[in-house]
Amino acid sequence: MVLVFPFAVAVFSCVVDTELLKRSVTHFSTLTIPVILFGIMLLVMPRMVYLDLKDVHPLRSEVHRLPQPYMYLDAVKMMELNSFHEHAFATNDLAKAAAEYKVQSSAGNNKFSPTMLVIFFVCNFINVGFGVALFCYILLVSVAGKIGADVCNHLVFVLAAGAVWFPARAYADWFINLGDFSWISTYQAAAVMAVLFIVGSIILALRMVEGSLYHRFVLPAGAISAIVAVMAALKPHWLTRTALTLEAYDPIYRVGLGLIVVALLFDISSTIHQKPS
């Protein structure tokens, strides 16, 4: 997502209609409703980000998504967990390694680093905040009337880029939890973000004009994300096998794959932004 996010923000900024925003806040009308919703969501977001950080089961006070080693205040524990985590992937029994890692992570000094807590909170707030801003803006332009092809194409790219968050987050949590997908059924933050993405896509589809790139980008991206989610819930060992294959790649090859993705995103974002001749 570090590679995708800048392109999504840049493309989104190209179609923000400042005059429409001014009308929505200076004169109360139906255009004001999306702005009010955005304000309410911003007020709710800090609590949501906090709960995502704590990730506490609603019925049992136990953490079911393991924190990254660098979150801990104790430097010795952080290094021990990091070393154990690195060597765990070399074993043939990830389930056993995950259970041992959970025991080690819950033992001793469990205090988190205040600095890392702030970084985690701010980064997640910005991440979720952009998704909320995108959703509310799609709602705003849909209330204003039909969404033109140029604006729609830009928003389509941003939605498609946002859909990448779901498999990327699934891989990140798979990695830190050593192949354990038991947390996915209680991952409430991801469920809310998925609903936000789906509803935003539906609104855009209902209000767009003919000739947009909606079917070429949003539908495939949404389908891929849905397939990954279903696989994670029903066949997690399939994803584990794929992730282990990628994890075995030399870092230089992973950098190469990242550069290819950057080139693709740059080409698509540039093409979408070009005015038709």
Enumerate the domain spans of the chain: 4-67+118-273, 68-111
Q: Which is higher by pLDDT, 4 or 140?
A: 140
pLDDT range class, residue 261, cuts 50, 70, 90: confident
State the pLDDT at residue 217. 61
The DSSP code for 209 is P
Would you give the distance in Å from CA 73 to the centre of its chain? 26
Instruction: Name which of 114-123, 126-135, 153-162, 180-189 the model is least confident about.
Output: 180-189
Q: Within a 13 Å sphere around the CA of 136, how many CA atoms are in the beta-carbon half?
A: 22
- Quick check: 33 and 140 in contact, CB under 8 A? no
Q: Looking at residues 98-127, what average pLDDT do you find?
A: 83
Whole-prediction pTM: 0.76
State the pLDDT at residue 233. 62
Q: Where are the alpha helices (DSSP H) in 60-213?
A: 75-88, 94-106, 114-144, 149-163, 165-176, 188-207
State the pLDDT at residue 232. 63
State the pLDDT at residue 10. 84
Q: Residue 235 is inside which H or E element, if any?
A: none
User: Looking up tokens 């509803």, which residue turns up?
Assistant: 199
Distance between CA 156 and CA 177 in Å, rounded?
33
pLDDT above 70 for 178 = yes
- Quick check: 90 and 244 in contact, CB under 8 A? no
State the pLDDT at residue 110. 78
Q: How many CB atoms lie within 10 A of CB 160?
A: 25
Residue-wise pLDDT tens digits, 194-245: 888 888 888 887 887 655 555 666 666 667 766 766 666 666 666 666 666 7
